[in-house]
Amino acid sequence: MHSERTTAARNRARTELRIQKAVEQLLVRQGFPGLGINAIARAARVDKVLIYRYFGDIEGLLRAVAGNRPLWPSHEDILKRVRLPAGSRNSGALTTARLAAIAEAELDLLTEDPLMLAVLAWSLSKSSPLTRAQLAARDRERRMLFRNPAVGTRPQGRGAPKNGQSPAPYKTVADGLILEILQARAARRAFPAPRARTIAKLIETMSGR
């Protein structure tokens, strides 16, 4: 009896994973308009009754996907990818060059992950458990990023951002570039993630320098 229960649990776990993978594949290939219970069941090769049994409804399924899959680049991965320009490596200040290098790394990691981009595109038109989880992950990872001493010390005084908050120019420029990438993707236009030098100029413009 115990062996039968163990086998049944393993079979269910495999089926749940297959259903979640089907959601990811449909989002990447067709976007959110192609996401429905029937389409998911066909892609996962299961009876749709199992989706309701295991997840309750599509909202529950999307919550499960959000809980099992990174939806935003981690602050650790961003820091590993950061390429600081010459002359800023020994500086402890959170300079424009450092901000630009961080933004470049974050954008590169996003554009390398088709599912992250698909969920971002979905967030432009509709809220869902996936899009809400992604926005929460973005804010969490950026807080962790800018709390890390390796990023650099921040300016102090009135009007300076609190520890863990993204500097306003960073958030404005990075999120604006993400929107441009999504718009180009929707129009099937090439729009490579901008390099640090271009990003630095945008940050300086936003900072009024």
Identify the CATH number of the domain in which residue 21 sits.
1.10.357.10
Give the pLDDT mean for 145-167.
Answer: 63
Q: Which of 68, 95, 123 is the last residue of a domain?
A: 68
Q: To the nearest 10°, the Cα dihedral for 154, 160, 166, 170? A: -90
pLDDT over 90 at 188, yes or no: no
Q: How far does CA 125 lie from the centroid of its chain?
A: 16
Distances (CA, A) of 170 to 118, 125, 162: 23, 24, 14
Is there a single domain that holds both residue 109 and residue 141? yes
Is there a single domain that holds both residue 92 and residue 128? yes
153 DSSP assignment: B
Is there a single domain that holds both residue 160 and residue 189? yes
pLDDT band at 62 (very low <50, low <70, confident <90, very high): very high
> Total domain count for the chain?
2
Q: Provide the token pair at 182.
A: 């999504």
Q: Provide the token pair at 110.
A: 């996003």
pLDDT over 80 at 187, yes or no: yes
Q: What's the pLDDT at 158?
A: 40
The residue type at 146: F
Give the pLDDT mean for 192-202.
Answer: 87
Is there a single domain that holds both residue 110 and residue 41? no
Percentages of the chain per state (helix, strand, coil), in multiples of 5 = 70, 0, 30
Better-scored residue on pLDDT, 189 or 155: 189
Instruction: Write the CB contacts of 96 (distance below 8 Å, at least 6 apart in sequence).
Output: 200, 203, 204, 207, 209
In what helix (H) or strand (E) does residue 142 lie, and over which residues does it extend?
A: helix 129-147
| Least trusted range by pLDDT, from 22-31, 102-111, 177-186 | 177-186
Q: What's the pLDDT at 169?
A: 87
Is there a single domain that holds both residue 39 and residue 95? no
pLDDT band at 206 (very low <50, low <70, confident <90, very high): confident
Rounded Cα–Cα distance for residues 209 and 6 (Å): 64
pLDDT band at 157 (very low <50, low <70, confident <90, very high): very low
Which structural domain, as residue segments, surrounds residue 191? 75-207
Is there a single domain that holds both residue 134 and residue 60? no
Q: Which of 50, 68, 86 is the last residue of a domain?
A: 68
Q: Provide the token pair at 206.
A: 């936003």
Q: What's the pLDDT at 35?
A: 92
The mean pLDDT of the chain is 86
Q: Which of 16, 39, 68 is the last residue of a domain?
A: 68
Is there a single domain that holds both residue 50 and residue 84? no
Distances (CA, A) of 8 to 5, 11, 14: 5, 5, 10
Is there a single domain that holds both residue 46 and residue 19? yes
Of 7-16, 42-51, 167-176, give the range with the top mean pLDDT. 42-51
Name the percent of the chain lying above pLDDT 70.
86
Is there a single domain that holds both residue 12 and residue 86? no
Q: What's the pLDDT at 111?
A: 93
Is there a single domain that holds both residue 43 and residue 139? no
pTM: predicted TM-score of the whole model, two decimal places: 0.85
pLDDT over 50 at 145, yes or no: yes
- 93 phi and psi angles, rounded to 5 deg: -80, 145
Is there a single domain that holds both residue 167 and residue 79? yes
Give the pLDDT mean for 166-172.
Answer: 85
Is there a single domain that holds both residue 186 and residue 117? yes
